[in-house]
């Protein structure tokens, strides 16, 4: 298991959630599954994923730390251009700064 430091978040790319509100997901996103890593690096738009691990947050001072807004299991959309492949046996995982996550998808009850 990978434990990110500071403001970093580990994400497993996933298909975007189905929405009843009419959000259109580009066909280019749906067609990239065969070559997900190069698609993530080359695109300037957003990619969907599920948060696998979250760092403790960035230190603001000697006694204060920024607490991350994300939790493990959160469904998020993040900037593809800022995604970094996690090396090793963790195939498919990527790491981004928390600030690269644009929004969290929350299902209505």
| Calpha distance 78→103 (Å, rounded) | 7
Provide the terminal-to-terminal Cα distance of the chain, rounded to the nearest Å. Answer: 32
Nearest Cα to Cα of residue 6 among 51, 67, 47, 90: 67
Percent of the chain with pLDDT over 70: 72
| Calpha distance 48→77 (Å, rounded) | 4
Pick the CATH number of 8-17+26-105 from 2.30.33.40, 3.30.450.20, 3.40.50.880, 2.60.40.10: 2.30.33.40
pLDDT in tens, 47-85: 889 999 999 888 888 888 888 889 999 999 888 888 888
Where is pLDDT greater, at 20 or 86? 86
- Helix or strand (DSSP H, E) at 52: strand 46-54
């Amino acid at each position: 298991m990978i434990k990110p430091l500071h403001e970093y978040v580990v994400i497993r790319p996933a298909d975007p959630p189905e929405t009843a509100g009419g959000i259109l997901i580009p066909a280019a996103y749906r067609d990239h599954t065969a070559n997900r890593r190069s698609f993530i690096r080359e695109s300037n738009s957003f990619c969907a994923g599920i948060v696998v691990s979250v760092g403790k947050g960035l230190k603001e001072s000697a006694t204060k730390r920024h607490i991350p807004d994300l939790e493990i299991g959160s469904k998020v959309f993040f900037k593809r251009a800022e995604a970094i492949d996690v090396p090793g046996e963790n195939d498919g995982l990527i790491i981004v700064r928390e600030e690269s996550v644009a929004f969290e998808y929350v299902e209505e009850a």
